[in-house]
Structure 1
Amino acid sequence: MRIRRGAALAAIAVIGVVTTTLAGLVTNVVSTQSRWPPWLRWLQVRPWLSFVVLGAVTAGLAALLAVLDDRRSGRRDGEPPARTGDTADPPGAALVLRSLPRDTTAFTDRSAELAALRDSVRTAQEAASALPVHLIDGMPGVGKTALAVHAAHILSERFPDGQLFVNLNGHTPGRTPVQPGEALAALLTAAGVPTHQIPVGDDIGAVTEARAAMWRSRLADKKALLILDNAAGYRQLEPLLPGGGGCLVLVTSRKRLAGHEEVILPVDALPPRHAVELFVRLSARPADELDHGVLNELVRLCGYLPLGISLLAARLRHHPSWSARDLYERLVATQDRLGELRSGERAITATFDLSHRDLPPERQRFFRRLGCYPGTDLDAYAGAALGEVPVAEARRHLDGLYDDHLIEEHPGSRYRLHDLLRDYARGLAAEGDDMDHLQSVQRVCAYYLCALAVANGHLVRSGAMVPPPPDGARRLETPALASRVDALSWLENERANILACIRRAHGLALYDTVIRLAVAMAPFLRQAGPWDQAVGLHRTAAEAARRTGDEQALANALAELGVVRRFMAAYPDAVAALDEAVAHYDAVGDLRGKADALNQLGIVWYLTADNEDAARAQTDALGLYRRLGYRLGQANALADLGMVWRQTSRFEAAMETQSEALAIYQELGDRYGEANSLRDLGVVHRILGAYDLAARHHRQAFDIYVDLDDREHQAYALNEQGVVRRLTGDPEGARAAHRQALTYFTELGDRYGRANSVLLLGTVERASGDAAAALSRSEEALATFRELGSRGGEAAALSELGVARGMLGDPDGAAEAFARGLELLRALGNRYGEAEVLNNWGTLLADTTPDTARDHFRRALALARDIGSPSEQARATEGVERCDRTADAG
């Protein structure tokens, strides 16, 4: 890049010199008849010298431009240019991340610790060596997090690819430490990885390892800074560490987590002088008005901890009439009252108690209720539900607690308690009525149910069941969620808090609440994942339903579990869950639930090409939907049944049922269903050779998916468009469509769709004559289909593999692939695929063994005539004629 820019600038300089010379010559000729001013006459007398001077000036300006350009780019020698499009990142991925909390005003000094950290980072970066992990440890309230955040803000320019903050809840009261797999999911999401692409599964160790590998890959060539706050132990940390040496990791913990490659930065209590300086600054009192002897006692009683000092200083700031001695006397009295505490806790807890007692009674009550909150952070709406107050009042309480240093502010108008203050608030709540704690949890769960009902209005399809909010909860205020984007953003922010509420409700035996929240979260987790989180949620709901003997709720939880298992391609588990759901729906007489579960079972069996079972399940579901008069269900079952008929080469039946489904979708205004039916009808028309009609259907489907912002189905439509373009002589258009589909499937984590795109790209390469590329792509797709248990995909990949091997001069390998493919296709009842493979095999043998080839072509011809496929019929007819010509010539 430097060489190219230098050459361009040199060219500019040369052009400038030449232009200057020509302009000078013309000017000199024109001016020979006149006398120039005395101060310019030397240029007229010595024109060539003037041209040299002017050329040098031009070259100098070009050089100056280059210097300024380098400075503006902000790059040093040896640094790579800024990337405008990194192919390692999927579309929409965030390349620069900023999630640091706000730098605290309570930070003071720590110059030695900061200097040690800066020197360590500078030394490693200048030596181009790997940055070590820096462990910041110390007692609670000493300011470990504040130091890490302050240092991160100072060092942010050295790590331009982003700064991330993760609270691991290692010592958070009432919260279990965050598991490495959960933390990795959050980090990958923050780094721009779509949740569908994040690895999932039942083997926690394997999933954590896969996510850790993806995380290391994302940061392999990055310079990023990561704060892992409140760590419980090294085992929790290790999977989260980036693999590359260009990232700085700051870890805070109450434990000493020394390892062989880390730098330890112990944080002790503040020196007395710095503690007094912090107190004076935060109290907003002139230093000369304060009794420094009393100040020394105050900070001593706080244990010289920044958290306690900031709380005490806030008390003095909010009471202008108090003196430092007044504050001291109150603190001593409070400390004496709490004398039963251990000496290490007494001072800081006394500070909390003094701060709490100074609050107005209604704010004291609000603060106590925060101790009942199961989540980590909250906004004014959740606070209003907890405190049983209007949102405006909750917002005032939260702002007031922030001003009093009893709560921390986080981005997005959200708040959280420091771990020690959370523990203190929980203690206050425990001193009260147990029913108050239970009712606080019930209220916040009711709030989330109300807000989820609003969010789900933007997520679920028209006519689908949405769980209503609990009775009497409609008066609760909820955020304004005006669009699908608003709903998804709110859900992503509240995901961890809602799941924490479900766990707390389960622990309090609030089983009905657990069931309701699980149902309400299901639509979001279906779409956003990670699906292993959804599996855990629905298993919890199923357990709650079993405890209460609620068969209806149990059936619903199992049905949702089966759907998520299908998304994860865990097909046997999906079938088991859905089968059990059908049995429970039968037991309670819920025909709608049973029909939905049968419809989902049929989809699973379609995906595994168990076509007989798939057709029976969809037919049974259709009968139930018709009995109930549920039109959307009828359309869904008809559409899915049409796909089964198409997969088994019953094309007339496929068009009939799919057309009926399309009419119902259009009648209901269900554009999602309409697009699906259009796409599948396009596939049937393409198989039957009606390419124009197929292209039109695929284009209509794609346009609807774009309107719905459904990128996964856009990818499926793109693949179908690509197939039609290849068959109509547009290989470049086909390649572009399949590549775009591949990008979308990779981004979304749809392994089946990705494998299909890879296989179709291989088909385009094969048709273009690049057999080696076709072979590679076919082998990749085959491996994925076998891993997923997709026999239909495996058969299609084997067919392409056979063609590629034949083109590369491996007839035995080709015959092996064709034979295995035919075996699968016959078992699946896919006669169109069987005819296609027989034609491919006949083409391979036509020149060497025409008699065998003729037999393959004749069998393909019979199949193609039977199913009405003109394309395969034409191929088979031409193949037979070719074999006859070869035999006659011989």
Structure 2
Amino acid sequence: MRLRRGIAIAGVAGGVTVTTMLVGLVTNAVSEQSQWPGWLGWLQEHAWFSFVLLGVVMVVGTASLAALSETRTPVPVAEPPRPSEDGAGLPGAALVLRSLPRDTAAFTDRTTELEALVRSVRDWQDSGQALPVHVVDGMPGVGKTTFAVRAGHVLSERFPDGQLFVNLNGYTPGRSPVQATEALASLLAATGVPTQQIPVGDDMGAVAEARAAMWRGRLADKKALLILDNAASYRQLEPLLPGGGGCLVLVTSRKRLAANEEVVLPVEALPPDHAVDLFVRLSGRSANSLDRAVVGALVRMCSYLPLGVSLLAARLRHHPSWSAENLRERLAAARDRLGEMRAGERAVTATFDLSYRDLPQERQRFFQSLGRYPGTDLDAYVSAALGAVPVADARRHLDALYDDHLIDEQPGGRYQLHDLLRDYARDLAARERVRMDDVRTITRVCAYYLAALADANSHIVRAGADALPPPDDASEVETPRLESRTAALEWLENERPNILTCIQRANSLDLHGLVIRLAAAMAPFLRQAGPWDQAVGLHRTAADAARRTGDRRALAGALAELGVVRRFMAAYPKAIEALSEAVTEYEAVDDRQGKAHALNQAGIVWYLTADTEAAARAQTERPCPLPRGGRPVRAGQRTRRPRDGA
């Protein structure tokens, strides 16, 4: 490769030199009609010397430009680690909202904290200095995210270049914290970077650095607002920080994050008077009709946490015949049932238990099923698959749970469970037949995604290309109507993190057949949209699942897709390695069409590596394996044994 590059450089430089000399000869002939002024006259008298010198300069300049371009490799490629059996090596994706979530009516008077934040931002902006990171910390259920969202809406006019919201899942039950590479890829895509241009590779450290550099470049000289919700540590969020000083970063976390430049804004439990006022406002009762002393006891029993106060008020609003004293007695009984829990958990969990027990039995089962969902957010279609109910019933249940403050509504008709409520729902589900219920629930969700992906792929897979058929039980699930390529791509982009997380959960439950089929169904989208490192992780996981089940045809398909993505990443030796193994597996199952596809892809790789002879031969015979050094070996060529001492 270097020899070919050198020959190309020499050819270009020689051509430039000859052209320069020819132009000079013409110029000299014309210029003989007049005498050049000053030092140019000397050049006119020694024209050949000046032309040769100019040619040398052109050669050096061309070589320098080539050398500079060779050093601009964004991400080095290294051997990726094998995915672990527990699914830790599976790809991930972060959920990024391009605008702030909707403000909530449950926000109560936090004038002191809000004024402190606005004053801090104003003072830093007026001083002309870079804005520091502002960290909102406090215990679970205290309203950190709600406060950050309200502050974002209040400050949005000061940051006209955009507002972004990222859930880092630092303490989300059942989910691993979002990695920097995942969050950066989603942030870059949200700000308009084509996913094919997002740096990829197998060295995660180098990938993170390249993506962070691109992210800082995107926000340079911008005034944007970035909310990083539910952060586990400063190390998790540090690569996501913009480089420019005009952007405001609001971070929410359950614990104090260590950083020198941060401004800490602690959010404590509500003052008693504010908690009572919030309860009265959300209960739908007039202040005169409520015994303020009883209400004070109610909000004290849930430790003045806004989440607990909201749930209690919703209970009273939905039961007009109850009095505040009736509600207090029920809450006391719930606290006694949960007495084995730690005191801090018992206060808020008692309000959950009170709300849950008041639900109809069918809605209780539906709520439990939401706790088994491994994704970040969901819509009515996923909810219907989770609860094994029609979509119309799922919408009815979601609306009722939202009215009861048991779920939060997100933009676009989507819903999300608070981390504490998700944990509570998972605990409820754990009291039943855990393994079998989890398997059935994930199987239903995966069947839904397979059916929806078949519809989406019908719009994005080019005509004449093979597309996976919908699953046999596709008629049993309802899917959204995707009537165009744009709608299909938008749906896929929104559901990407949830589908990848469901694949991870299916893999942990040894549902290898579903892993293989979902990976194949996601392949067309990831091949086009990337990021390709997610595709690499997904196809490696599918290949591992196929090996475990002994499905050689599925193994061949996963390896072929892996080879294609490796080609896109310019990892040519690894592409040939995967495609060669795919050819072997296709031969073993006598799949000639699959073998032809893999050979065609291998031929493209050979062609890109300037081995046209091997590229042509790959169309009719198996491509040659790679030696340990990684450089392709041509047919009929033997590897040379190194000399002693070499």
Return the TM-score normalized by structure 1: 0.59
Contact preservation (8 Å) 1:445, 1:501: yes
Residue type matched to 2:566 in 1?
Answer: R
Q: Give the structure 2 partner of residue 642 of structure 1.
A: none
How far apart in 2 are the matches of 1:592 and 1:461? 18
Residue matched to 1:573:
574
Cα distance in 1 between the residues matched to 2:487 and 2:355 = 37
Aligned to 2:619: 618
Whole-angstrom distance in 2 between the partners of 1:274 and 1:362: 35
Aligned to 1:535: 536
Partner of 2:519: 518
Matches within 5 A, 1:405-444: 405-434=405-434, 435-444=436-445
- Helix, strand or coil at the partner of 1:593: helix
Contact 1:595 1:620 in 2 (8 A): no
CA contact (8 A) 1:446 1:469 kept: no
Q: Does residue 1:473 correspond to 2:465, yes or no?
A: no
Post-superposition CA distance 1:547-600 (Å, at most 9, x none): 111111111111000000000111111011001111111111111111100000
- Residue of structure 2 in register with 1:624 after alignment: none
AA partner of residue 618 (structure 1) = Q
Residues of 1 paired with 2:525 and 2:98: CA distance? Answer: 25
Give secondary structure in 2 for the equivalent of 1:252.
Answer: strand
Shift of 1:469: 2.8
Q: Determine if contact 1:98/1:163 at 8 Å carries over to the other structure.
A: yes
The reply on whether 1:458 has 2:463 as its aligned counterpart is no
Distance 1:162 1:472 in 2: 43
State how far apart, in whole Å, the 1-side matches of 2:355 and 2:442 are.
25
1: CA distance between counterparts of 2:232 and 2:124?
27
Name the CA distance, whole Å, in 1 between partners of 2:179 and 2:452: 27
Q: Does 1:404 align with 2:404?
A: yes
The Cα shift of 1:361 comes to 1.1
Report deviation, 1:463.
Answer: 3.1
d(CA) in 1 for partners of 2:576 and 2:139? 52
Structure 2 equivalent of residue 249 of structure 1:
249
* 8 A Cα contact 2:171 2:177, kept in partner: yes
Q: CA deviation at 1:358?
A: 0.9
Aligned partner letter, 1:508: L
Matched, 1:156 2:156: yes
Alpha-carbon separation, structure 1, partners of 2:475 and 2:599:
34
Once the two structures are superposed, the pairs formed by residues 640-719 of structure 1 within 5 Å of their partners are: none
How far is the alpha carbon of 1:465 from its aligned partner? 2.3
* Aligned position for 1:329: 329
Q: Separation in 2 of the partners of 1:105 and 1:235? A: 33
- Counterpart Cα distance in 2 of 1:511 and 1:134: 44
Are the counterparts in 2 of residues 162 and 223 from structure 1 also a CA contact under 8 Å?
Answer: yes
Match of 1:365 in 2: 365
The answer (yes or no) to whether the contact 2:101–2:149 under 8 Å persists in 1 is yes
Distance in 2 between residues matched to 1:105 and 1:487, nearest whole Å: 33
2: distance between equivalents of 1:502 and 1:468? 19
Q: CA deviation at 1:305?
A: 0.3
Q: Which amino acid aligns with 1:394?
A: A
Distance 2:98 2:287 in 1: 37
Question: Secondary structure of the equivalent of 1:415?
Answer: strand
Paired with 2:556 and 2:563, the residues of 1 have a C-alpha distance of: 10
1:118 counterpart = 2:118 = yes
Is it true that 1:317 corresponds to 2:317 in the alignment?
A: yes
Match of 2:585 in 1: 584
How far did 1:462 drift?
2.7
> Which aligned segments of 4 or more residues in structure 1 are displaced greater than 6 angstroms?
none
Render the CA deviation track for 1:836-862: whole Å, top value 9, x for unaligned. Answer: xxxxxxxxxxxxxxxxxxxxxxxxxxx
Is the contact between residue 369 and residue 387 of structure 1 (CA under 8 Å) also seen in structure 2? Answer: yes
Name the aligned partner's letter for residue 185 of structure 2: A
Preserved CA contact (<8 Å) 2:334 2:353 = yes
Q: Which has the higher helix share?
A: 1
* 1: CA distance, partners of 2:159 / 2:100: 13
Conserved 8 A contact 1:258-1:264 = no
Q: Contact 2:98–2:190 at 8 Å: present in 1 too?
A: no
Counterpart contact for 2:169–2:175, Cα < 8 Å: yes
Corresponding residue for 1:264? Answer: 264
Conservation of the 8 A alpha-carbon contact between 1:230 and 1:253: yes
- Among the aligned pairs, what percent are the same residue? 75
Distance across 1 between alignment mates of 2:491 and 2:206? 30
Query: Match for 1:100: what amino acid?
Result: L
Residues 1:606 and 2:607 are matched in the alignment? yes
Counterpart of 2:267, as a letter, is: V
1:610 & 1:422 partners in 2: Cα distance?
A: 56
Give the secondary-structure state (helix, strand or coil) at the position aligned to 2:468.
coil
Q: Residue 620 of structure 1: CA displacement?
A: 4.4
Instruction: Report the counterpart of residue 288 of structure 1 in structure 2.
Output: 288
For 2:497, the equivalent position in structure 1 comes to: 496
Q: Deviations over 1:217-274 (max 9, x none)?
A: 0111100010000001011010000000000000000111031100011111111110
The SS at the match of 1:230 is: strand
Name the structure 1 match of 2:44: none
Asked whether the equivalents of residues 542 and 557 of structure 1 are also in contact (C-alpha less than 8 Å), the reply is yes
Q: Partner of 1:776 in structure 2?
A: none
Equivalents in 2 of 1:469, 1:303: separation in Å? Answer: 51
Provide, for residues 393-429 of structure 1, a one-character-per-residue CA deviation record: whole Å limited to 9, x for no partner: 1011111111111001111100010000010111111
Query: What is the alpha-carbon distance in structure 2 between the residues aligned to residue 356 and residue 99 of structure 1?
Result: 32
Matches within 5 A, 1:118-267: 118-267=118-267
Q: Which residue does the alignment assign to 2:308?
A: 308
What secondary structure, in the 3-state scheme, does the structure 2 residue paired with 1:184 have?
helix
1:609 aligns to what SS in structure 2? coil
Deviation string, structure 1 residues 20-59 (Cα, Å, up to 9, x no partner): xxxxxxxxxxxxxxxxxxxxxxxxxxxxxxxxxxxxxxxx
3-state DSSP class of the match of 2:251?
strand
In 2, distance between residues paired with 1:509 and 1:610? 42
Task: For residues 596-654 of structure 1, give each alpha carbon's deviation from its aligned partner in whole angstroms, at most 9, with x where no partner exists.
Answer: 00000001111111101100112449xxxxxxxxxxxxxxxxxxxxxxxxxxxxxxxxx
Please tell me the residue identity of whatever aligns with 1:321: S
Query: Aligned to 1:177, what secondary structure does the other structure show?
Result: coil
> 1:303 is matched by which residue type in structure 2?
S
Q: Secondary structure at the match of 2:466?
A: coil
CA distance in 2, matches of 1:369, 1:225: 35
Q: Secondary structure at the match of 1:478?
A: coil
Shift of 1:113: 1.0
Aligned residue type for 1:378? L
Q: 1:471: Cα distance to partner?
A: 2.4
Displacement of 1:461: 2.4
Q: Which amino acid aligns with 1:186?
A: S
- Structure exhibiting the larger radius of gyration computed from Cα positions: 1
Point out where structure 1 has 5 or more consecutive residues left out of the alignment.
1-96, 622-788, 791-890
Deviations 1:711-746 (A, max 9, x none): xxxxxxxxxxxxxxxxxxxxxxxxxxxxxxxxxxxx
Name the SS of the counterpart of 2:618 in structure 1: helix
In 2, Cα distance between equivalents of 1:384 and 1:109? 37
Contact 2:523 2:535 survives alignment (8 Å) = yes
Residues 447 and 473, structure 2, Cα contact 8 Å, conserved in 1? no
Query: CA-to-partner distance for each residue in 1:478-498, whole Å, 9 max, x for gaps?
Result: 010011111101000000000
Matched residue count: 528
Cα drift, residue 474 of structure 1: 2.1
Letter in 2 for 1:227: I
Q: Deviations over 1:651-683 (max 9, x none)?
A: xxxxxxxxxxxxxxxxxxxxxxxxxxxxxxxxx
In structure 2, the residue matched to 1:559 is 560
| Residues in 2 aligned to 1:220 and 1:463: alpha-carbon distance in whole angstroms | 44
What is the rounded CA distance, in whole Å, between the counterparts of 2:159 and 2:170 in structure 1? 26
Aligned positions of 1:81-96 closer than 5 A = none
Q: In 2, Cα distance between the equivalents of 1:466 and 1:302?
A: 54
TM-score where L is the length of structure 2 = 0.81
Distance 1:380 1:98 in 2: 22
Give secondary structure in 2 for the equivalent of 1:341. Answer: coil
Native 8 Å contact 2:579 2:602 kept in 1: yes
